Every structure is written in C-alpha cells, then in structure tokens.
Amino acid sequence: MKKVFLEKRSLNKIFIVLASFALAVLIYLLFRSRKLFYYQIVELMNLDSHVGSIRKVVWVYRKHIPNWVIYSLPDGLWLFSMGVSILHNRVFYKKAQNIFNIIFFTMIGIEVFQGIYGGHGTFIGTFDGADVICYTIGYIMAS
C-alpha cells in the first residue's frame, strides 16, 4: 500500500513539472517573437502553420495579458519545474538543493549583471524586476 502512495506522489510531481514547463513553452510560442529557438523546432516539425493559426486567434487577447505574464512568468515556471525535478530524489536532497541554489543565484546574478551592463538593443539583455520576483517565487515554491 505504501509503494502505491509513493508512485502516485511521483506521478503528481512529474505532472507538475511537465505542466509548468508546457505552460512556459506555450506562452513563448503564442506571445513571443518568432525568432526564438522554439520556432526552429516548430518549423522542423512542420507545425509552424498550426502555431501561426493559433497565434492569430490568441493575439486578440494579448492586450488583456500583463507584460510580466508574457516576459517574466515563463522564466519563473522553468525555474520551478527544474527545482521540482531536481529536488524530487530525497536520497541526494542536500546535494540537489545546493545545485538548485547555485542555479537560482546564478539567474539572479545574470539579472543584476543585465541591470549594470545591459540595455535595450544589447546582446546582454535588460534588467527586469519582475524576472527576479518570478525567479524567487519559482525557487520558493519548488523548495
């Protein structure tokens, strides 16, 4: 009986990881630039016409969606899904937590670096406080 409980719990975590990652990808595909890496995959799979059709329908609602949902939430969702997947194994939890901490602080460091050296039109990117907030919420929820 205990084994079934653990398997169900594992399946729930897998679902959470995949659902949060899929939502982040969906936001990217529907609302972000077509020059992103995901569109190369979509084009390789010959799904660009389908995604384009869905984008036309969804784009009508774009003005009702806050910018932080489109530009910051996917990063927080990715960090969350990565954290849940890394921290799933309780045997190596301390080592996994250290790795996850390094990933989180690296992401925050990159964002601070963008604030110091970045700007619009640069390769480095731009600082966004909403990114830091979404990273932090994803980190806390995964831990």
Tally of structural domains, the chain = 1
**Looking at residue 7, what is its pLDDT?**
73
Nearest alpha carbon to residue 66 among 130, 129, 5, 120: 130
Q: Running DSSP on this structure, what letter comes out for residue 84?
A: H
Residue-wise pLDDT for 87-137, tens only, equals 887 788 899 999 999 999 999 999 999 888 877 666 677 889 999 999 999
Q: Running DSSP on this structure, what letter comes out for residue 64?
A: G
DSSP string for residues in 98-128:
HHHHHHHHHHHHHHHHHHHH--TTSSS----
pLDDT above 80 for 78: yes
Angle at 35 between CA 33 and CA 36, to 5 degrees: 80
C-alpha span between 138 and 126 (Å, rounded): 20
Which structural domain, as residue segments, surrounds residue 70?
Answer: 2-142
pTM: 0.85
